[in-house]
Amino acid sequence: MHTGLLLVQELEKLDALLSIKNQELLAIVEAGGLNFRADERLLDALKSQASSWLVYRTQECEFIGANSRAGGTWPSTYANECEVRVTVQRLEQVGDVLECVRRILPKDRVDDEAGCLNALSALPGSAPVAPEE
């Protein structure tokens, strides 16, 4: 039980960090570039995706813990361990996307930002490619 409690404390810290990173990303995307601001649909989708990811993480890790078929508090501990592990991965992913977007020159934001944001998708390669002009 002690291990599970420590993992819950770690997860709370990671969730707070993830929330900060998600807010930073949202602010950068919202600011846009030269003569460009993100549309509400994109901003709403980013917010929704961030909250949906948390729900997915919890449900998926609960399945992993329950499927361990361990006794006592071990299923919860395994679920907590899973949540910590995947949250660390998500933090790295959001951090990489943040760095990618920050490197884009304001004049290039419209063309290049989508490529950075695609890394957040659970469906890699599913984003449409903009037609060439």
- pLDDT single digits (tens) 47-57: 999 999 999 99
Class of residue 48 by CB neighbours under 10 A (exposed 0-12, middle 13-18, buried 19+)? exposed
Within a domain: residue 130?
A: no
Within a domain: residue 43?
A: yes
Within a domain: residue 128?
A: no
Within a domain: residue 36?
A: yes
- Residue 131's pLDDT is 45
Within a domain: residue 52?
A: yes
Residue with tokens 């990671």: 14
Q: What is the pTM of this model?
A: 0.84
Within a domain: residue 108?
A: yes
Within a domain: residue 126?
A: no
- Residue 75's pLDDT is 94
As a whole number of angstroms, the distance between CA 43 and CA 36 comes to 14
Residue ranges for the chain with pLDDT beneath 70: 33-37, 124-133
Task: Provide the domain limits for residue 56.
Answer: 2-120
Q: How many domains does the chain have?
A: 1
Within a domain: residue 133?
A: no
CATH value at residue 42: 1.20.1270
- pLDDT single digits (tens) 22-43: 999 999 988 876 556 678 888 9
